[in-house]
C-alpha cells in the first residue's frame, strides 16, 4: 500500500472514530423534548393516588405527551394520602408527586425542601358524607362524631375544621380517623365512622347506592375557592432538572386542556387506572381541572392553616412556588 493510500485509510479511520464518539454521546444523553432541548432525566417516577383528579396525568400518558417531551413516566401509587407520597419524594424514590397543598405546606413548614410546580384541581364535589339513616341532617350534628379522612393535618382535616367551625362546632368536638379513600364507603356502611370526606370517583360510587348523603360541602364559607392540589418536586430536583420539570409541565398543560373540554376522555382515563365501571364514571360530576395553572392564592391555604393551628408560622411562598419556564412550543 502506498503512503498516500495509508494516509487515506488513517483519515477514514479517524473520521469513523469521531462519528462513533458523536453517536455514543447522542445515545447517552436524554431524548429531546418539544422545546428542542434535551431533558436532564428521561425516566421519571411520578407519585399518584387513585383519584379521578389524576385523569389528566393518564391522558398525558395515553396521548404520548410525555413521550413527545422525551420523558418516560413510571407511576407509584400511595394509599396514605399526600403525606405518604411526600415521604417518597423527599427520600428521592419519587421525582414528582400529586398532593394536596395542606400536606405540602405542612411539610415545608417542617423544613422539607418541597416546591410546587403546577396546579392540578380546584374545589368540586368533595364533601362530608353520612349514611342516609344516620339521623345526621346538618353540619352541627357532626359534633362529637367520628369523621374519616385520609391523613391527619391534610386538606381533609383543615377544611372539615374550618367549615364545621363556621357552623358552630368547636374544634375539641371533632374526632378524626385515618382511612384510605377506597375504604371509606365500607367504613360508612359498617358504621365504623359517622362521616367521611369523599373525593371522586368515590363520591359517585358511594352515593349511587342511595345509602349515603352529603351533609356539607368541604368548600364553602371559609374554604370557598380554596386551592386544593397540585404537582410538587424537591428543591434539589428542580435545580438539577429544570428542563425535565418544564417538560413535565408542558405535557400536563396539554392534557389539562383536553380534560377540561372532553369529559369522555376523562372517563376513559379514569376507567383505565381505577376499578370504576364506565357506567359509573359516566355519572361523575365534572372535576374542576386547572387548565391554567394559578398558584397565586396559595397564601389563603397557609392563612387558614395558621388560623386552625396546623402550622405555627408562614413559609416563604415565593420560594415554595416555582414559576416554571416552559419556553416556546415548537
- pLDDT digit string, tens, across residues 281-312: 898 888 999 999 999 999 999 999 999 999 99
Residue 197 pairs with which residues in a beta bridge?
A: 128
Q: What is the mean pLDDT of each run of 10 residues along the chain (330 residues)?
A: 40 36 32 62 93 95 97 83 80 94 95 97 93 95 96 92 96 93 92 94 84 94 95 97 98 98 95 88 90 94 94 96 79
pLDDT at position 79, please?
56
**What are the Cα distances from residue 153, in Å, to 58, 114, 168, 311?**
28, 17, 21, 9
Half-sphere exposure of 77 (CA within 13 A, CB side): 10
Domains of the chain: 43-122+227-320 (3.40.190.10), 127-223 (3.40.190.10)
Distance, in Å, from the CA atom of 220 to the CA atom of 18, rounded to the nearest integer, reads 66
pLDDT at position 204, please?
86
**How many residues in the chain?**
330
pLDDT at position 6, please?
37
Tell me: the pLDDT tens digits for 151-167? 888 999 999 999 999 99
Amino acid at each position: 500500500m502506498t503512503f498516500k493510500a495509508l494516509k487515506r485509510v488513517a483519515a477514514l479511520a479517524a473520521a469513523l472514530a469521531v462519528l462513533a464518539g458523536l453517536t455514543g454521546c447522542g445515545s447517552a444523553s436524554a431524548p429531546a423534548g418539544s422545546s428542542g432541548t434535551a431533558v436532564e432525566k428521561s425516566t421519571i417516577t411520578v407519585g399518584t393516588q387513585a383519584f379521578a383528579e389524576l385523569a389528566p396525568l393518564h391522558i398525558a400518558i395515553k396521548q404520548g405527551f410525555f413521550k413527545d417531551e422525551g420523558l418516560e413516566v413510571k407511576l407509584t401509587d400511595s394509599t396514605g394520602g399526600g403525606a405518604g407520597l411526600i415521604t417518597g419524594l423527599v427520600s428521592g424514590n419519587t421525582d414528582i408527586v400529586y398532593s394536596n397543598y395542606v400536606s405540602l405546606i405542612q411539610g415545608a413548614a417542617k423544613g422539607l425542601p418541597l416546591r410546587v410546580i403546577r396546579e392540578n384541581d380546584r374545589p368540586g364535589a368533595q364533601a362530608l358524607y353520612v349514611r342516609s339513616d344516620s339521623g345526621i341532617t346538618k353540619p352541627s350534628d357532626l359534633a362529637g362524631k367520628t369523621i374519616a379522612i385520609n391523613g391527619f393535618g391534610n386538606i381533609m382535616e383543615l377544611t372539615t375544621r374550618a367549615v364545621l367551625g363556621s357552623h358552630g362546632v368547636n374544634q375539641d368536638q371533632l374526632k378524626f380517623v385515618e382511612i384510605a379513600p377506597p375504604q371509606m364507603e365500607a367504613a360508612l356502611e359498617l358504621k365504623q365512622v359517622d362521616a367521611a370526606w369523599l373525593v371522586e370517583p368515590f363520591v359517585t360510587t358511594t352515593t349511587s347506592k342511595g345509602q349515603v348523603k352529603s351533609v356539607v360541602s368541604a368548600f364553602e364559607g371559609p374554604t370557598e375557592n380554596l386551592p386544593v392540589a397540585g404537582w410538587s418536586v424537591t428543591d434539589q430536583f428542580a435545580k438539577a432538572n429544570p428542563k425535565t420539570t418544564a417538560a413535565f409541565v408542558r405535557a400536563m398543560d396539554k392534557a389539562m386542556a383536553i380534560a377540561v373540554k372532553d369529559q369522555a376522555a376523562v372517563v376513559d382515563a379514569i376507567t383505565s387506572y381505577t376499578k370504576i365501571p364506565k357506567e359509573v364514571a359516566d355519572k361523575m360530576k365534572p372535576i374542576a381541572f386547572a387548565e391554567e395553572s394559578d398558584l397565586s392564592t396559595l397564601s389563603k391555604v397557609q392563612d387558614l392553616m395558621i388560623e386552625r393551628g396546623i402550622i405555627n408560622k408562614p413559609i416563604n411562598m415565593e420560594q415554595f412556588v416555582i414559576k416554571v419556564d416552559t419556553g416556546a412550543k415548537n
